[in-house]
Amino acid sequence: PLLPGSLVNGRPALLGVLGGGQLGRMFVHAAQSLGYETVVLDPDPASPAGMVSHRQIVANYDDPSALAELHASAHAITTEFENVPAEALASLALQRPVAPAAEAVAIAQDRVREKAHFVRSAQSSGVAPAPYAVIDSEEDLSKVPEDLLPGILKTARLGYDGKGQARVSSRQELAAAWRAAGSVTCVLEKLLPLALECSVIVARGRDGQVASLPVQRNLHRNGILAVTEVYEGSLPEDLASRAQQATRQIANDLQYVGVLCVEFFVLQDGSLVVNEMAPRPHNSGHYSVDACDCSQFELQVRALTGLPLPAPRQHSATIMLNLLGDLWFDASGNSRTLPWEQVLAIEGAHLHLYGKLEARHGRKMGHLTMTGASAADVRASALQAAALLG
Ligand code: ADP
Ligand code: MG
């Protein structure tokens, strides 16, 4: 392990992260609190993580000289988003511990490979993905089974927050949507009757030990996560343990090292369906910073450096509210000041702003985690906060 407080050439060990967004920023916070120094690679000189890191390399993720610099300086390297070129991770891994591995990231960034992996893990866990077909050509369009419609067409690569998706209810709509997406490789998934959505975050070490956070119940608005709730009774007990079991299986089958989040659907008949995974901490796990004794970001640091991964204990009921840029504007589109004094007067309110200099509609500016002694307490305070924010 790369021990906290150990000096390398007279300096604390340096942890590198590919990507400078809010996930990288919170990784940096966790790494620094354990005494590590950090270096962030991101093309934006004012990136949320770069602004709090000891060092930042301002360059693209596939810039060879930037990767060489990262390689030469960082003692272990992780990523905060899945669309880094997997080759960049693979080349870095030749001489440095890198977690997650390039291969796992390559699978997670491609819905076709991701679904194939889920189908494989389902043989042991019993939790399968939605019925789907891969669409790679005009010919594939005509072969799509009728019972996949109505469905959702998703580009295989680069989709997030509902982007790169289209709902289609007929073959004509499907063909039009596929062409509108640029005729790139897509998956068509059957549209399922969702009762609710949840996600599970695990951290897996090089020795195969796995720590799991409690199961998160998630509410999306316009394809973007809006609210995460984690408290006793937020999900049926048996469902939570099945989702955790399936997530462990998926991580083990990948020989995964690092933090992994798996999203699930719960259908109206109570059955569980696996949706997608992220090879990194996840927006739905932000509550763990304030409501658990070990956060998803500390788990990421620990998995990367080879430290122990004890099971995190949740000590407070919690509701996380995402703060999108929309809140920074009033009804007529003028920018407004948010009532933080009133919000922060509510007991158990924890505000996290990511230091982004410009608010835009749909942009994740921060989040507010409410904690309380009970589900009823935290529900009441989350309602109060939501009413103030409007
Ligand atoms: P993203 O990468 O944008 O998060 P997802 O595949 O998670 O893409 O889809 C975004 C949201 O769209 C999901 O959280 C869910 O609400 C809805 N959705 C996606 N696939 C299906 C489906 N097969 N049936 C019903 N709803 C779906
Ligand atoms: Mg999703």
**pLDDT tens, position by position, 32-74:** 999 999 999 999 999 999 999 999 999 998 899 999 999 899 9
Structure tokens at 106: 């390559």
CATH for 194-389 (3.30.980.20, 3.40.50.450, 3.30.470.20, 3.40.50.1970)? 3.30.470.20
Task: Please report the pLDDT score of residue 344 as a whole number.
Answer: 98
Whether the predicted interface score ipTM is above 0.90: yes
Confidence of residue 93 (pLDDT cuts 50, 70, 90): confident
Q: Which CATH class is domain 7-98?
A: alpha beta
Q: 10 Å Cβ neighbour count for 94?
A: 8
Task: Please report the pLDDT score of residue 172 as a whole number.
Answer: 94
Cα–Cα distances in Å, from 289 out to 26, 174, 314? 9, 42, 10
Mutate to test the pocket of ligand 1, among 167, 216, 266, 275 (most ligand atoms within 8 A of CB): 275
Nearest alpha carbon to residue 289 among 99, 56, 23, 38: 23
Distance, CA 115 to ligand 2 centroid (Å)?
A: 13
Q: Where exactly are the structural domains of the chain?
A: 7-98, 131-190, 194-389
Distance, CA 383 to ligand 2 centroid (Å)?
A: 25
Residue list, CB under 5 A from ion ligand 2: 263
Helix residue spans in the chain (DSSP H): 22-33, 64-73, 86-92, 102-108, 111-125, 138-143, 171-180, 237-253, 288-291, 296-305, 340-343, 375-389
Kindly report the protein residue whose alpha carbon is nearest to atom 2 of ligand 1: 160
Ligand 1 binding pocket, CB closer than 6 Å: 130, 152, 154, 159-162, 189-192, 194, 197, 220, 223, 263, 275-276
The answer to whether the beta carbons of residues 343 and 385 sit under 8 Å apart is: yes
Q: 351 forms bridges with which residues in the sheet? A: 368
Distance, CA 245 to ligand 1 centroid (Å)?
A: 21
When mean pLDDT is compared over 64-73, 283-292, 329-338, the highest value belongs to 283-292
Is it true that 131-190 and 194-389 share their CATH fold? Answer: no
Q: Which atom of ligand 1 is nearest to the CA of 194?
A: 25
Structure tokens at 80: 């905060």
Mutate to test the pocket of ligand 1, among 165, 188, 268, 272 (most ligand atoms within 8 A of CB): 165
Task: Please report the pLDDT score of residue 33 as a whole number.
Answer: 98
Instruction: Describe the strand order of the beta sheet including 55-57 as a list of residue ranges.
Output: 55-57, 37-41, 14-18, 76-79
CB contact burial 57-92 (16+ within 10 A = b; e otherwise)? bbbebebeebbebbbeebbbbbbbbbbbbbebbebb
Kindly report the protein residue whose alpha carbon is nearest to atom 15 of ligand 1: 223
* Closest ligand to the CA of 222: 1
Contacts of 281 (CB under 8 A, 6+ apart): 23, 26, 27, 80, 201, 259, 261, 296, 297, 299, 300
Which tens digits make up the pLDDT trace of 234-253? 998 899 999 999 999 999 99
Q: Which atom of ligand 1 is nearest to the CA of 218?
A: 14
Which tens digits make up the pLDDT trace of 155-199? 999 877 777 799 999 999 999 999 999 999 999 999 999 999 999
The answer to whether the beta carbons of residues 303 and 259 sit under 8 Å apart is: yes
Distance, CA 162 to ligand 1 centroid (Å)?
A: 7
**More confident call, 161 vs 213:** 213
Side-chain half-sphere of 298: how many Cα atoms within 13 Å?
A: 20
Task: Please report the pLDDT score of residue 82 as a whole number.
Answer: 78
CATH for 131-190 (3.40.50.10190, 3.20.20.140, 3.30.1490.20, 3.40.190.10)? 3.30.1490.20
Residue 130 DSSP code? P
